Amino acid sequence: MKKSNRIQRYSAPERINHWIVAFCFVFAAVSGLGFLFPSLNWLLHILGTPQLARILHPFVGVVMFVAFLLMFLRYWKHNLIQRDDIEWAKNIHKIARNQEVGDTGRYNFGQKCVFWLAIICLVLLLASGVVMWRPYFAPAFPIPVIRLALLVHSLAAVGLILVIMVHVYAALWVKGTITAMVEGWVPAAWAKKHHPRWYREIQRKQQEKQP
């Protein structure tokens, strides 16, 4: 494909940031499921041994939160709910039939929901994880608070796993999304079809740069 027919969607630092979050999520989720369900204890070997997994799990979680925080600071303005998003949500049945609805910006309403739900779950995971993190912070909290933190941590973890499953499914469903996060670019026709308002903004910026 000619470079003139491409539009950069993500820079190299953005893509690296995304994949750091993705890999940390896999390690944290798999080891967390091993802690939560005795029948899945064998998953703890993903980080070496169960003992090593117990040590590394919270550190991996902190790295994931910090990496996602960088993404949050970079993308939060693009994920604010707007009037066009309401139209998108009302016509979700058309979206399910692969029809585009509304004048979508850089992210559609579904992507924005994933973004905000992910940050909510991560904040809950970090806060509850600190409370139950032995031997560093847990001794400072009473047992009832630690028990509550365990419940919140488990529910937030399940919530985040479900959110990421939706995110992955949508990325596979919309052809071209994976290419954007691997190579950084999308075809101009793809951008015009799926994110028309964002496409026009890119075109306007390119025209302004021309002498």
Positions marked active-site: 167
Q: Report whether 171 contacts 78 (CB < 8 A).
A: no
Cα distance between residue 192 and residue 179, in whole Å: 16
